[in-house]
Amino acid sequence: MLFHVGEGDYILVDVRKRQHVYDNLDRFRYEVNKVTGALEIFGIVASRDVVEESPGTGEPSEPGAAQETGEPEEAEEAGQAAPGTAPETRSAPTADADPALEEAATDEAAPETPSTPASPPLFADYTAEQLRELGVAEGLISPALALTTENGLLEMVYGAPSHTEEVLLALADGNGFDQVLQNITGPVTAEGPVDTSDFSAALARPATRVTTSDTDLREVLEDDFSAWKVFLHPTQEKLVERTYRGPARISGGPGTGKTIVALHRVKHLVQQLPRGRNKAVLLTTYNTNLAADLRHRLLDLAGQDVLDRVDIVNIDKLSFRIVNESGQGSHGRRPISDDQVALEWRSMLTELGEQHWPPEFLEDEWNQVILGQGVRSRSEYFRARRAGRGQRLSRGQRAEIWQLVERFTMRLEEKGRWTYRQVAQAAAQAEGERAAKILANREREAQEGGQFLHRPDESMTNLRFRYEHVVVDEAQDLSSAHWSLLRAMVDQRENDIFLVGDTHQRIYDNRVSLGALGIRIRGRSSRLTLSYRTTREILGSALGLLGEEDWDDLDDGADTLSGYRSVLRGPRPTFRGSPTWAAECEAVVAWAQDLLQNAPRDTVPSIAVAAPTKREVDAVQYALSKAGVRAASLGKEGPPAGFEQAVHVGTLHRFKGLEYQHMAIAGVSEGLIPRAGLDRLRESAPTRYRHELQKARSLVFVAATRARDSLTVSWHGDPSPLLPKTAVRAAAGEEEARVDDGGLFQPAGTLF
């Protein structure tokens, strides 16, 4: 079935048996969207909810039914495209194509769930004119207004153009007209008037997204990262190409494409640079393995020439580099891990017989207040901000703490050790001094009319800021010292710093106020809300894990995930308790074996298991290997070479930034998540206690949102108190999970 666009251009809409095409032809619509200017080809789905309005036969239809393989629709939903496949050709999947839909379809047809004619229309608050203004496809406006159930809506949007789908789901999720107009329709609104009869012009517009759900084609495209070279969502594209008058920040829930945007931004910035050989752009992140991953992806996306202009390094390595170069206090000292630091505090206080200040409190005060604010002297500490620390300190108390901290740093120094935070602090200081010199030179040069009358030291006048642009991924995990370091590496001007991150995924205890560090993002913050990775079902359960905590925006304000959504669907996550750890391991092995055995021929599904600590990781890996399942544990640099396709097992921390088709989170038990002994902090270091709890939630949230298709969460003994009660009860068979609730629990304001 071909659509003739004009001249010699055709679009492949679908490949089906001839009779099928004839039978279903009248269910297809094509139109140029008056608002976005996109060419949209779509099927009208007959749901009972909209049956009167639908021009189809009334039976649950499968126009074009491209879904023969049972593959989830990720590529299609994601707006990814294959040249020569149909723009916005969307079809209602057949029942056998997708288990989740099968359930929905069965549910729809079941006599016990009749549509209630009395229930008000879902979009009762909106008029046809408003839906039109938001860019809902003309042919779907009246069917949409007639909808009364969420299932009907979900069924209908499967056949709808994706812009219509996004708008309707966002409205149903509780976003208001203005919000949807601004966030969803605004970015894709056509520039200039739209001629709805000019298909060629429509095809050339970025809003015309060419998509495919053909598995073979998808494999060709997805095999390498190059698919994303071409197709960013227009909302993402605008963020990439915009000129910002200062630092800019992009936030958004997991899988919304923040990393993709950061990579495209780097490419864009390099392309604007004058010719040269230096590495003028810094791309940095927290973890070593993510930095390596960014390098591969940037090479795929932009090629060697772009890569040659970019310095890609994780932030701690960069700090070491600066410290070594400047000689600032390194003296051959070796870094010490956070766990070792905690032990050192404990030993020192015991040796001193000091009982007044708990070690956790002192450690936190040192990290968050003293190192966190770059405090360098006792008098600076007297003036340091302690807002939100939960405990007021008198001058005398501050003096005592300062003395203990000084002792502690001396102790580490004597042992030839220092913490990563200290290294970052030293690097920030060295780089800050360098920046101050550059600015002083500049001022002198300006005063002396562009030339130095008294030429100072040559090396000083040649000093330049190290980078033209800085781009940061996983920004939520960087500390104040890291930000001070980055601030000093780039001049304060247009497009200086571009950062992407999500504070709901903060898994290292670094909290910052960017404005106070000279990184002013106010007015230059944007949020991505559509997840391209996770299904609605997984997303719902993952959001439930976040509880009722408050989340910051890196700048003394609050962040939220409101409007965060997915249009992908899949099975509900499973939750399972086992009596013992051994039994839980067995269940995890059976789960992996089942996935491997049932994978389509010649494919190896990507599978991972996350667990709280190295101990559980080793046990799971051992159990998998013993059962003949190829497994490897994730190290600092990712999986060992040659084990890319094995089942990956790692601590929760290791999964940041990664994604897998199937994810298991094991050991979500009381005493493991959050770790045992945390209660001790409740009294001694209440702020830290709160932050540790939040961090534990974020860790599980990060792991859960790595899953693309399926998620399973398990525990042994008592479940973690962080698991929502409904999940635990349902796992124990005490409560039936509702078929239509999408997950086992559902965050407020989220539609399933």
Ligand X SMILES: Nc1ncnc2c1ncn2[C@@H]1O[C@H](COP(=O)(O)OP(=O)(O)OP(=O)(O)O)[C@@H](O)[C@H]1O
From the CB of 737, what's the least distance to ligand X, in Å?
Answer: 25
524 touches 249 (CB < 8 A): yes
Alpha helices in 184-251 (DSSP H): 199-204, 215-222, 227-230, 234-241
Binding mask 466-505 for ligand X (x = CB under 6 A): ------------------------------------x--x
Residues in the chain, how many? 752
476 touches 506 (CB < 8 A): yes
From the CB of 747, what's the least distance to ligand X, in Å?
Answer: 17
CA-atom Rg of the chain in angstroms? 28
Q: Is 259 annotated as a binding residue?
A: yes
Window 666-705: residues binding ligand X (CB under 6 A): 705
Show contacts of 335-343: CB within 8 Å, 24+ apart. 335/417, 335/418, 335/419, 335/420, 335/423, 336/412, 336/417, 336/418, 336/419, 338/419, 340/417, 341/419
254 binds ligand X (CB under 6 A): yes
From the CB of 703, what's the least distance to ligand X, in Å?
Answer: 11
User: Quick one: which segment of 2-10, 228-236, 457-465, 660-668 binds ligand X (CB under 6 A)?
Assistant: 228-236
Nearer to ligand X, 71 or 363 (CB): 71
What is the C-alpha to C-alpha distance for residues 132 and 417, in angstroms, rounded to an integer?
65
532 binds ligand X (CB under 6 A): yes
Nearer to ligand X, 256 or 425 (CB): 256
User: Quick one: which segment of 109-117, 256-264, 438-446, 678-686 binds ligand X (CB under 6 A)?
Assistant: 256-264
Binding mask 534-573 for ligand X (x = CB under 6 A): ----------------------------------------
Nearer to ligand X, 369 or 561 (CB): 561
User: Quick one: which segment of 226-234, 477-485, 507-515, 691-699 binds ligand X (CB under 6 A)?
Assistant: 226-234
Among 24, 36, 236, 373, binds ligand X (CB under 6 A): 236
User: Quick one: which segment of 29-37, 84-92, 248-256, 605-613 binds ligand X (CB under 6 A)?
Assistant: 248-256
CA-closest candidate to residue 634, choices 623, 647, 622: 647
Query: At residue 117, what is the residue type?
Result: P
Among 260, 280, 371, 481, binds ligand X (CB under 6 A): 260
Among 93, 257, 612, 650, binds ligand X (CB under 6 A): 257
Nearer to ligand X, 16 or 527 (CB): 527
Name the maximum alpha-carbon separation found in the chain: 92
Query: At residue 643, what is the residue type?
Result: F
228 binds ligand X (CB under 6 A): yes
288 touches 636 (CB < 8 A): yes
CA-closest candidate to residue 83, choices 200, 199, 172, 212: 212
What is the C-alpha to C-alpha distance for residues 324 and 331, in angstroms, rounded to an integer?
9
Could you tell me how many residues of this chain bind ligand X (CB under 6 A)?
Answer: 23
Nearer to ligand X, 155 or 502 (CB): 502
Q: Which two tokens stand for residue 113?
A: 């769930």
Window 9-48: residues binding ligand X (CB under 6 A): none
Query: How many secondary structure helices (H) and strands (E) does the chain include?
Result: 29, 22
Among 33, 148, 259, 328, binds ligand X (CB under 6 A): 259
Nearer to ligand X, 236 or 746 (CB): 236
From the CB of 139, what's the least distance to ligand X, in Å?
Answer: 25
What single DSSP character describes residue 509? -
Q: Is 432 annotated as a binding residue?
A: no
Q: Is 253 annotated as a binding residue?
A: yes
Nearer to ligand X, 322 or 539 (CB): 539
From the CB of 280, what's the least distance to ligand X, in Å?
Answer: 23
End-to-end CA distance of the chain: 33
CA-closest candidate to residue 261, choices 224, 234, 222, 291: 234
CA-closest candidate to residue 400, choices 447, 457, 452, 362: 362
Among 527, 533, 565, 576, binds ligand X (CB under 6 A): 533
Assign 3-class secondary structure to 432-496: HHHHHHHHHHHHHHHHCCCCCCCCCCHHHHCCCCCECEEEECCHHHCCHHHHHHHHHHECCCCCC
Nearer to ligand X, 364 or 502 (CB): 502
Helix (H, G, I), strand (E, B) or coil at 585: helix
Nearer to ligand X, 255 or 359 (CB): 255
Assign 3-class secondary structure to 691-703: HHHHHHHHHHHHH
Mind giving me the DSSP string for 137-192?
A: -HHHHHHHHH--SHHHHHHHHHTS-HHHHHHHHHHHTT--HHHHIIIIIGGGPPSS
Nearer to ligand X, 311 or 659 (CB): 659
What is the C-alpha to C-alpha distance for residues 686 and 697, in angstroms, rounded to an integer?
17
233 binds ligand X (CB under 6 A): yes
Side-chain half-sphere CA neighbours of 255 within 13 A: 29
Among 175, 256, 698, 710, binds ligand X (CB under 6 A): 256
Binding mask 53-92 for ligand X (x = CB under 6 A): -------------------------xxx------------
Nearer to ligand X, 254 or 650 (CB): 254
Query: At residue 351, what is the residue type?
Result: E
232 binds ligand X (CB under 6 A): yes
Among 657, 674, 724, 743, binds ligand X (CB under 6 A): 657
CA-closest candidate to residue 654, choices 696, 703, 711: 703
User: Quick one: which segment of 2-10, 25-33, 255-263, 364-372 binds ligand X (CB under 6 A)?
Assistant: 255-263
Q: Is 515 annotated as a binding residue?
A: no
What is the C-alpha to C-alpha distance for residues 359 and 365, in angstroms, rounded to an integer?
10
255 binds ligand X (CB under 6 A): yes
User: Quick one: which segment of 25-33, 43-51, 232-240, 342-350 binds ligand X (CB under 6 A)?
Assistant: 232-240
Q: Is 254 annotated as a binding residue?
A: yes
Binding residues for ATP, by number, are: 252-259
Binding residues, by number, are: 252-259
Interface ranges with ligand X (CB under 6 A): 78-80, 228, 231-233, 236, 252, 254-260, 502, 505, 532-533, 657, 659, 705
